[in-house]
Structure 1
């Protein structure tokens, strides 16, 4: 006997739910293979592998890194570089990477990057010289070009590491003294340093810092980052100064970040907001020699926080 339609409809809906019916069907399309894959020997036993970060539209949630066809790393989507250690000197290796999306779809493997490890260094505790004359300039709202003078080392420089805000973001080989940094944000101040590294994995001191302010993107308004930010330590105090961003109104509130964490809010009362250059003195109780990395950003007239200033590193005075 034929069932009434009222009984058949729930069965159809249940079958559709079990099959994943949604009008568009289940996601079976893999993300594109990662681009820009490079592998650079940082020492006789380690390799730095990096690639271009995926676009948000690609829906990538993670990456798998392969060495000679075998998986060696699983990384979240925000990571697009890793160091592989424990390698054999003077041996050749092949590295590749593939992307994974939220549905578990895997991209094709990126074209392999091959590297031959240098010979093992003799016992070496001496770091390379410090890279000098670091220059940096924006080449667009999201890119910057860096250059520095080469350095020497008794066992040979194998790599230069680029740092931003205390974090390594890029590595090039020991013969390269220029590079392009990508993935930046428009209307943002970045502070870069470079370190040289030798075959024994000794790293040089940081080069002098170089600031880059990326230009505004198409359709962006006025720049919102505090300019010419400076920090000077004296016994028990820290003096900060900067030029306020031009927001059309006086800026009377800033967030101050210390070592990457929001630490205090700098405020001036109505009628006391400085014009031109702002100066703020902070009492500190930390011991002399403590190193702080400082940056700040302004509260804009619309209530949002603007872009960060350059980051400054200061050693507290006794």
Structure 2
């Protein structure tokens, strides 16, 4: 069986506003068994704004669903252009990007590009280091352990008493000579390959497995993430289908998606997942612990009917919930309606930076309502994107504004300069809303 291999590359490109551009050196990661990482910041990145790309390439013959890309940014905040498909977390300077559910698979022998933005806020050119995917590189931990870890590679349940575990090897460091497999915290196997069967398990029982590698120099890696599997029910054991989920609610999250919530179902053995139906057709699955889901790809100003069923370990499906109806919001018309920031205003201010007078634009606006939570705004100066502001992340974490927003934009030591300013918000469904009205301001002389 062939192994999935992913290569990762990050590249930032210019979207600047009259700033001097300086080349930035590339950052190359380690490679082992086809798993590689390389990050670059393009030579046209500026101290005001750079957009970036995380490019994933799968050289294997099976699609990759579960991946994690990581890198470190020298300073500033990093944002996503497509938050409905990816999840971005920034802890200080460390950035992690993961797919949301099954919306961002990397096709077999295919590729996928994740676009990000870097907002250095005028504090210098952004730089990316430590670029990796699925632990392709890592620094050493204590003297006996390193932090590169194996990763789940499509493990599955075989029947009511056995599971099949598969994992990808860690990259970097000395050669791996064997793997240690742990079941519910206890070591149960040592193997040389990257897959094994675990047998003689109890039917309809949840198990948590972890794997770590042992290298030729005797060091062990960190543990993989837990691989949680529930064996099937024994023949005749699971006689009843699950009791249906209750109290399904559906609310619109902007023009193109809906948020669903329900109370958990029960079963005589175990609930193993949920199925979500839209207008009578199954559209997606949720795992056994889920009591909510987001359904995307909807049409604006359209009524939909949703229902949810539960599935147990033997494959039996419950009766559906009562249908919940919802109508999506109208699409932004670009005319400055509810999907655009209102009451937009801009004033100028100055601050002393040593012997230099720096000029700022102070922006204020009303937060668009009825289009989901808004955490990201983009500022345009003289018709070009200048900065992206993001709340709810970073270090320290900035609280998300709900009614009024404000931010300052550094435009540099440029007295007597005129700027045409406007902003737009990234709506709760991941799309950009309409622009605010454009205002003109002039820095002091």
TM-score of the superposed pair, with normalisation by structure 2: 0.28
More strand, by proportion: 2
